[in-house]
Amino acid sequence: MKEGFNLSGWALRHRTLVWYAMLVTLLMGAFSYVQLGREEDPAFAIKTMVIQARWPGATLDETLQQVTDRLEKKLEEIDALDYVRSYTLAGEATLFVFLKSETPARAIPDAWYAVRKKMQDIRGELPSGVQGPAFNDEFGDVFGNIYALTGEGFSPRQLRDYAEQLRLGLQGVPRLGKVEVLGSQPEVIYLDFSIRRLAALGIDLRQVIQSLQAQNAVTPAGHIDGEQERIALQASGAFASEADLQAVSLRFGERLLRLSDLARIERGYAQPPASLFRYNGEAAIGLAVAMQAGGNIQDFGAALQQRIDELTANLPLGLDVHQVSSQAEVVDKAIGTFTKALFEAVLIVLVVSFISLGMRAGLVVACSIPLVLAMVFLFMSYSGITLQRISLGALIIALGLLVDDAMITVEMMIKRIEAGDSLTKAATHAYTSTAFPMLTGTLVTVAGFVPIGLNASSAGEYVFTMFAVIAVALLLSWLVAVVFAPLLGVYLLRRPAQAEVHGSSRWERLFSAWLALALGHRNWTVGLTLLAFAISLVGTGLLQRQFFPDSDRPEILVDFHLPQHGSINATRETMDRFEQALADDPDVLRWSSYVGKGAVRFYLPLDQQLSNPFYGQVLIVSQGGEARDRLLARLRARLREEFVGIGANVQPLNMGPPVGWPIQYRISGPDIQQVRRQAMSLAALIDGNPNIGQVVYDWNEPGKVLRIDIEQDKARQFGLSSQDTAQILNSVVSGSSITQIRDGIHLVDVVARAQADERQSPELLGSLQIPSGRTGESIPLLAFASIRYEQEQPLVWRRDRLPTITLKANIVGNLQPDALVEQLRSAVDDFTAQLPARYQVKVGGAVEASARSQEPILRVVPWMLFLMVTLLMIQLQSVKQVLLVLSVAPLGLIGVVGALLVTNSPLGFVAILGVLALIGIIVRNSVILVSQIESFRQQGLALQAAVVSATEHRCRPILLTAAASSLAMIPIAREAFWGPMAYAMIGGIAVATVLTLFFLPALYLLCHADQGEEVEAVNEMP
């Protein structure tokens, strides 16, 4: 900025251009607002990839040592790797790759490419027969709109076909993303053989299978190239239905037998099912629809619902389409709530402006609000920031701050007009006297939000738009204050009303009296302030800590964890029993259930679960509000009393990055059995706390294994091998897919298996006849093998290549996870101390996630302080003055602690960000006051007079900006997400404002008493 250049003066000399700029700004801002995308939560990257590999027939130990461990070791070479979790089943390895929390979103694709490359490199080192690895890194897709198709009398195949019909009909909906079908039951044609009858007939099941595969094979028959045309040859024989299978005749030596004489041929559905989807207790097929990133979910939801209505009009009677989840409705309600809060905040700021400044001056400030908001909307549109929970909250927070500069400008203009200056001179003088201190204060305030902007964790990514919106709004507010506000003031301001002058003088006299008292007893003023600060430090120990609060949405999630050897049928029966009471509950609107897997990601922060037969999840939509809280309490009590032995967790939806169960402890070590023993001891210790609910293991219970020990020498004598035996056993017990029928767009597996009475009885395995490939005779299994029962782990979880059991628990009562972990800390530390070497206990869940998210903040705080000090040094150019300005900043903790304790609000992640941002807000007022004191001293006033005059001079602007900043946050104080932050900032601003006006002047006098200037105590009321 060139010396002597006055930006306000330039604006007044180019009024037409500035008026045009204002009009264009408003029009472009309005257009940008309409075009902005609408979402529930800001997008953040899910930094997790799932890798799966299969090794059919391998034992758990073989899979763990030969597959899981090899893959884990190779993944350790990834630079961005944070840790690897894996769970291993017999013949199946699943690895969860977690990137470091500070990995930027733009670097994630490169990291996944590196993972795939490493896995490709190690593929040749895996045992023969290993299938994969396969990869899944698409965890961020949100299926915000879910529909359920139900129909009495309709088969699962019919429901699936109609779901596919709807899926096809959705093509063409603007910004349509992925569409997935949920709960689809694949059709299967079962060939149920009697193994004993085949043995009696001397028929080898493998011969049957080979004959069917040969007939159904798709093999090119060639083509004839003539002189004029080319004719393709096609050989028939492929199976089109189960009727074709029933008509098949097979030749065995001289015998010709129909397949229907050897097996019962039945078309049905895969048993057991991999997963099930239900709606209000009815079997259903789900249709999950996602929107493309950056779209307007309200517009998309309306277009999608219109298309669904059109398509359902053509469905047959009795087939119903139900809406399970509608993110558009949630966003519409949330946007409406926040828009209302935004208007309330605007109204509050206007009331403060009009009451304190008068109608005309208040109108100047009021006009600056839409100008700044219009430019912010333009920035949001350009940078791709949507209207969602964080950006809307940031707008409300910024609203109370963006009027500060305009208020200071108008206040200075009024004072100069009262002093006799013309409107133009008053406007240019306001720029000369306040523009640079205002800019410094604005930049210092922005610096207070730097820990949000530079926080590279997932939680920081979640709230990044808060920094972007507030920072841009503050910078633009300074521009509006020095360009647009002076021009508006020249046209709108007149001489102030007498009533306003007298009112101000009366309040100024009262303030002068209190200031005189504080300065007259400045030692007491400073001492009492420091005492209050010390008390607040002690009071922080009474505050509960929190990561992110629970959502206020009406949904409730209920997780069911059966023992790891439990079947999907047992899971379904358990959930059936639970759901029976939901139908008659007046607080329940609807519910959907997922058996064998977790709910599809219907909102971004969902802690999504993968498929497991022993797991199920129920998503209940309550009537909302108090009904949700009543239902939560009832469900928790019912699960405790009626579902003993079932790991169940009832919780509302969470906000922020997913963390799962609130209380989690991990115990790990090299030996699985030792880890199990120590985990049970730790669980007993944790369960002793009355605030802990049921403790659940993510794995622990051993399962039965029927081990068949083959005597290899005897097997060879009979012309048999372990492979022959395993294949026959697999066909008998589980059934094996031998070929497929091509049915339209679907493939129907043909599965050969033993009939029910033979495959479901372990006792009959001993009499199983194994056909010999060499002699053609059937050999009893017990002739060359022995059968015995054993116990082994059905699955093993590992973390960083060590077996790890995670203990999970919910909370009974209103304690936060951090407080409960603190209660258990001493006992857990004592338990950890007695563990053998290489065994350890770590805290997980919300407490760990909160600590991990705060580490990047702490790393950025020094940069924040450096920026603040640098800006203050540029403005004040005095170490002593900078220290004086900064002295008030930590004292805001007095108000923060008091407000949080009074409102019983926890100090969560978002509240911590607010406290850090509070530093910049407090310093802003302090630097303006100290700059004013220095200005008066340079004009020749004595120290005492300069302090008093400057404080009285800056009193009203400081009070006005503090009132606007704090009161504007009242509308969001009732929101679950923003409430603690709002209370913390309101309390901090209120107390810091008082201290700026009384403590800072007193401290200034004490610090400058050694300069030899006469400092007279102010003992009389003026």
Please state which CATH class domain 48-136 belongs to: alpha beta
Q: How far apart are CA 724 and CA 853, in angstroms?
A: 55
Nearest to 691 by CA among 807, 806, 820: 820
Residue 1013 has pLDDT above 80, yes or no: no
Q: How far apart are CA 155 and CA 152, in angstroms?
A: 8
Q: What is the DSSP letter of 676?
A: H
Most confident of 81-85, 242-246, 540-544: 81-85
User: 122: buried, middle or exposed (CB in 10 Å: 19+, 13-18, 0-12)?
Assistant: middle
Nearest to 71 by CA among 114, 131, 117, 126: 126
Q: How far apart are CA 247 and CA 264, in angstroms?
A: 12
Residue 173 has pLDDT above 60, yes or no: yes
Query: Which residues make up the CATH 3.30.2090.10 domain(s) of the chain?
Result: 187-217+239-272+703-792
Pairing between strand 802-811 and 692-697?
antiparallel
Query: H or E stretch including 439?
Result: helix 423-448
Residue 656 pLDDT grade (very low, low, confident, very high; cuts 50, 70, 90): confident
778 φ, ψ (degrees, to nearest 5): -100, 130
Least confident of 135-144, 230-239, 823-832, 986-995: 230-239
* Assigned CATH topology for domain 187-217+239-272+703-792: 3.30.2090
Q: For the chain, how long is the longest CA-to-CA vector?
A: 127
pLDDT at 908: 82
pLDDT at 148: 93
pLDDT at 338: 79
CB atoms within 10 A of CB 292: 11
Residue 1015 pLDDT grade (very low, low, confident, very high; cuts 50, 70, 90): very low
CATH architecture of 1-35+358-498: Up-down Bundle (1.20)
pLDDT at 393: 84
Nearest to 632 by CA among 653, 607, 646, 663: 653
pLDDT at 528: 92
Nearest to 958 by CA among 407, 354, 485, 477: 407
User: Residues near 412 by Cβ (< 8 Å), separated by ≥ 6?
Assistant: 426, 429, 430, 433, 434
Residue 429 pLDDT grade (very low, low, confident, very high; cuts 50, 70, 90): confident
Average per-residue pLDDT for the chain: 84
Task: Report, as an integer, the average pLDDT of 226-235.
Answer: 76
Q: How far apart are CA 233 and CA 223, in angstroms?
A: 5
User: 218: buried, middle or exposed (CB in 10 Å: 19+, 13-18, 0-12)?
Assistant: exposed
pLDDT at 1022: 39
Query: Which residues make up the CATH 3.30.70.1320 domain(s) of the chain?
Result: 555-702+796-843
CB atoms within 10 A of CB 305: 17
pLDDT at 1017: 43
Cα 956–Cα 974–Cα 892 angle in degrees, nearest 5: 45
Query: Which residues make up the CATH 3.30.70.1430 domain(s) of the chain?
Result: 48-136
Q: Can you list the pairs that 882-885 forms with residues at least 24 positions away whose Cβ atoms lie under 8 Å?
A: 884/926, 884/930, 884/1000, 884/1003, 884/1004, 884/1007, 885/923, 885/926, 885/927, 885/930
Residue 54 pLDDT grade (very low, low, confident, very high; cuts 50, 70, 90): very high
> Which runs of consecutive H residues, i.e. helices, occur in 968-978?
970-973
Residue 773 pLDDT grade (very low, low, confident, very high; cuts 50, 70, 90): low
Residue 757 has pLDDT above 80, yes or no: no
Q: Which residue has the tokens 């493939």?
A: 747
Q: How far apart are CA 692 and CA 569, in angstroms?
A: 30
> pTM here?
0.82
Whole-number percent of the chain with pLDDT over 90: 21
pLDDT digit string (tens) for 884-904? 888 888 888 999 999 999 988
Task: Report, as an integer, the average pLDDT of 516-530.
Answer: 88
Higher pLDDT, 358 or 326: 326
Beta strands in 781-887 (DSSP E): 785-792, 796-799, 802-811, 840-844
pLDDT digit string (tens) for 452-482? 888 777 777 888 888 899 999 999 999 998 8
Residue 25 pLDDT grade (very low, low, confident, very high; cuts 50, 70, 90): very high
Task: Report, as an integer, the average pLDDT of 578-591.
Answer: 90
Please state which CATH class domain 505-542+878-1010 belongs to: mainly alpha
DSSP letter for each residue of 391-434: HHHHHHHHHHHHTHHHHHHHHHHHHHHHTT--HHHHHHHHHHHH
Query: Which residues make up the CATH 1.20.1640.10 domain(s) of the chain?
Result: 1-35+358-498, 505-542+878-1010
Most confident of 7-11, 188-192, 528-532, 962-966: 528-532
Residue 299 C-alpha from the chain's centroid: 23
Task: Report, as an integer, the average pLDDT of 992-1012.
Answer: 82
pLDDT at 71: 94
pLDDT at 377: 93
Residue 1020 pLDDT grade (very low, low, confident, very high; cuts 50, 70, 90): very low
Whole-number percent of the chain with pLDDT over 70: 95
Residue 776 pLDDT grade (very low, low, confident, very high; cuts 50, 70, 90): low
pLDDT at 285: 93
Higher pLDDT, 521 or 703: 521
Cis, peptide link before residue 133, omega less than 30° from 0: yes
Higher pLDDT, 698 or 496: 698
Contact between 972 and 979 (Cβ < 8 Å)? yes
Residue 279 pLDDT grade (very low, low, confident, very high; cuts 50, 70, 90): very high
Q: What is the DSSP letter of 295?
A: -
pLDDT at 1011: 55
Higher pLDDT, 582 or 1021: 582
Residue 520 has pLDDT above 50, yes or no: yes
Residue 501 pLDDT grade (very low, low, confident, very high; cuts 50, 70, 90): very low
Residue 496 has pLDDT above 60, yes or no: no
pLDDT at 252: 77
CATH architecture of 555-702+796-843: 2-Layer Sandwich (3.30)
Sign of the dihedral defined by the CA atoms of residues 830, 833, 839, 842, in that order: positive
End-to-end CA distance of the chain: 42
Residue 505 has pLDDT above 70, yes or no: no
pLDDT at 624: 83
pLDDT at 774: 62
Residue 768 has pLDDT above 80, yes or no: no
Q: How far apart are CA 816 and CA 148, in angstroms?
A: 36
Q: How far apart are CA 55 and CA 745, in angstroms?
A: 29
Q: How far apart are CA 697 and CA 535, in angstroms?
A: 42
Residue 919 has pLDDT above 90, yes or no: no
Q: How far apart are CA 945 and CA 963, in angstroms?
A: 27
Residue 495 pLDDT grade (very low, low, confident, very high; cuts 50, 70, 90): low
Least confident of 36-45, 380-389, 517-526, 675-684: 36-45
pLDDT at 763: 67
Nearest to 416 by CA among 431, 404, 437, 406: 431
Contact between 286 and 142 (Cβ < 8 Å)? no
